[in-house]
Chain A
Amino acid sequence: MKDEMTSMERWKALLNGDPVDRIPVVPFASGFDASVNGYETMGDFFAKPEVQVKCQKRSREMIGYDEPPHLMPPGYWAEQWGSEVELPYRKAMSSPSVTDPVVKTAEDLEELEIPDPKETMQDFHKMVELAIEDDLYPLVTIWGGCISAVAPHMVSIEQFMKWLRTDPGLCEMALDKSAEFTISVAEWFAEDFGTDTWIPWDPLPTDANVLISADNFGELVVPRLKKVHQKVLDLGLPMWFTHWCSDHNKNIEAGHVDKIPHGDPGVIYFGPEVDVERSVELFGDEHIITGNVDPPSVQNKSYEEVLQLCKENIEKGKDSPRGYTLTCGCGVPPRAPPINVYAFVKASRKYGKY
């Protein structure tokens, strides 16, 4: 049962396409990391760069998974635009919430200026720097050109959804502004940190087909997301780690996911709505596939049940041609029992050896 590689060796080998001793475990556990570090709320985790990096590093060491810190700026890509954000200093909260998006009207959007990253993202820059100085090879949120980075961060979800039907030009404008902003952040980070010390990642929950049609996604989001991804890859970053959060089955069927450059390989991370077997079949030849044990089970079921779910997930993904990681579908619930997160590591050691 003794590991032959360290967590960092395993993570880097996976990304480089080198052999790994066993399946890497990348549960996406940020809020959980704060919790097991003794923080009663997630407030400091999201507010303070050093806390966000420290918590993820220590819990990785404690539980034994291979996930690098994945970093989210304190302003949640929303304060930077002038929106109001509540940080999760209440126990019931698990992440920052946009309480008052800056854009209410078409005029607000037209007048909205693209923020200067060097003025609005210094704390994020510091966070990334801390992780890189510690050789943690972090996943860094680079978020733009998609609805998830715009609604509710710039404009409320409801308003954006209505504009999709009444004035799609405004949606395009919002998406373009977010694309431009995030590209400028990536350029700044590439310049200051190089391109071989971090990996960009982006989550796409509000772009899912539970909310919008594949046609809308194809017409409005694909061109902009494609542009953001390609520009960032052109900077020299090796790949994208993209979380296709929630149900993207219709976007898959329409061929939209294929059109987004993820790198060669990139990492494609679907939620439990897309079975791992299907992910491997559709994208395994080109990309690293992540597993997706469903989060409510990790929070509510027993250690034995979670271990079994991990085993089943591993059996479906283990032989994916470009690699596979065992992951929790949409991230580990912050209040999940730590033993259930350890079940991921245990399952990898028990059923995931190569």
Chain B
Amino acid sequence: MHNFISFVLYRVLYGVNMGEEDLFGELTDAVVAGDKDRCRGLAEQALDEGVDPYRALMEGCAEGMNIMSDRYDEGEAYVPDILLSAEALYEAMDVLKPHIDVEDTGVSGKVLLGVVEGDIHDIGKNVLKSIFDAAGFDVIDLGRDVRPEQFQESIEKEKPDILGLSALMTTSMTGMPKIIENLQKAGLRERVKVMVGGAPISEDYAEKIGADGYAPNAPRAKEIAEKLLKQKREED
């Protein structure tokens, strides 16, 4: 809050219009700092100054999430930091997104995420969602404790490119092959790439159950999703 007040005072006193690059840098810093008030203020400023909202989002906010994602991966940031950064990111997104023309975004990937039935551990999935959002994916979050039928229904309705399944327990991980099997039976398996993750999941297990990708953590999941999306586009 203190940073935000300083920022507002600075603008009121000096009336300075930042350059685009400076503004993007400020947005990046605000996301890294997890400062949601400052993020909202900067996003509003971007609109006021006629800055391309999509560029503000991707070159400003998303860059901040990338930094946090790398820091988390390297053990320099922790879940509390990521959650606050995600909150700041969403604050800016709320302001910018209504002004973004979908055709300008170049977003080509839709991801359906959920924690499998019987499992309410959704911190990892929530961190993943924010990283995917920042990367420009169109993310549909089914939440936690999601029944296999819900995944199937949503795939039919939303037609995602990627299905991301998360499980933190050895019991709930057994739900993953059932979901994949259901998709096969329903003739939906070829339509979607499936990636899996969570504490008890391994690359071997992912392969065994017929998933297309596995990520040991949220930052790696973004890379895997991008790779799977590329594969899918080539196959399509």
Contacts and interface: CB of A to CB of B under 8 A. Distances in A.
A210 B217 CA distance: 10
A353 interface: no
Contacts, number: 76
B68 to A, nearest CB: 13
Interface residues of B, number: 30
A109 interface: no
A323 interface: no
Given A90-B118, A211-B79, A296-B205, A162 B84 contact: yes
Interface stretch (B7-15, B20-28, B168-176): B168-176
Output the residue of A92, A99, A216 with the most chain B CB within 10 A. Answer: A92
A211 B199 contact: no
A121 interface: no
A212 B78 contact: yes
B123 A165 contact: no
A299 B170 contact: yes
B120 interface: yes
Contacts of B119: 92
B200 interface: yes
A4 B139 CA distance: 60
Given A97-B120, A246-B199, A295-B200, A165 B81 contact: yes
Nearest to B34: A165
B205 A92 contact: no
B126 interface: yes
A334 interface: yes
Contacts of B202: 296
A40 B172 CA distance: 15
Contact-size category for A: 20 to 34
Interface in A148-199: 157-158, 161-162, 164-166
Contacts of B75: 209, 250
A97 B120 CA distance: 7
Nearest to B202: A296
B124 to A, nearest CB: 9
A296 B173 contact: yes
Contacts of B200: 295-296
Contact of A92 (B34, B118, B201): B118
Contacts of B123: 157-158, 161, 211
Interface string B115-148: 0111110010010000000000000000001000
B78 A211 contact: yes
Contacts of A95: 169
A31 B171 contact: yes
B159 to A, nearest CB: 26
A213 B78 contact: yes
A64 to B, nearest CB: 22
B78 A158 contact: no
A242 to B, nearest CB: 20
Contacts of B224: none
B175 to A, nearest CB: 6
B106 interface: no
B72 to A, nearest CB: 10
Nearest to A99: B120
A161 B80 contact: yes
Given A94-B118, A94-B169, A212 B80 contact: yes
Contacts of B145: 97
B83 interface: yes
B44 interface: no
Contacts of B205: 296, 300
A165 B118 contact: no
A93 B175 CA distance: 11
Interface in A41-63: none
Among B75, B170, B173, B200, residue most surrounded by chain A Cβ atoms (within 10 Å)? B170
A108 B83 CA distance: 22
Contacts of A231: none
B120 to A, nearest CB: 5
B212 interface: no
A284 interface: no
Top 4 A-B residue pairs of the complex, sorted by shortest distance between their CB atoms: A92-B118, A333-B170, A94-B171, A92-B117
27 contacts: A31-B171, A88-B118, A92-B116, A92-B117, A92-B171, A92-B172, A94-B170, A94-B172, A95-B169, A97-B120, A97-B145, A157-B123, A158-B83, A161-B79, A162-B80, A162-B83, A166-B84, A212-B78, A212-B80, A213-B78, A216-B80, A295-B170, A296-B173, A296-B200, A296-B201, A333-B170, A334-B171
Given A212-B80, A296-B205, A334-B170, 8 more contacts: A90-B117, A91-B118, A94-B118, A94-B169, A162-B83, A216-B78, A295-B200, A296-B173
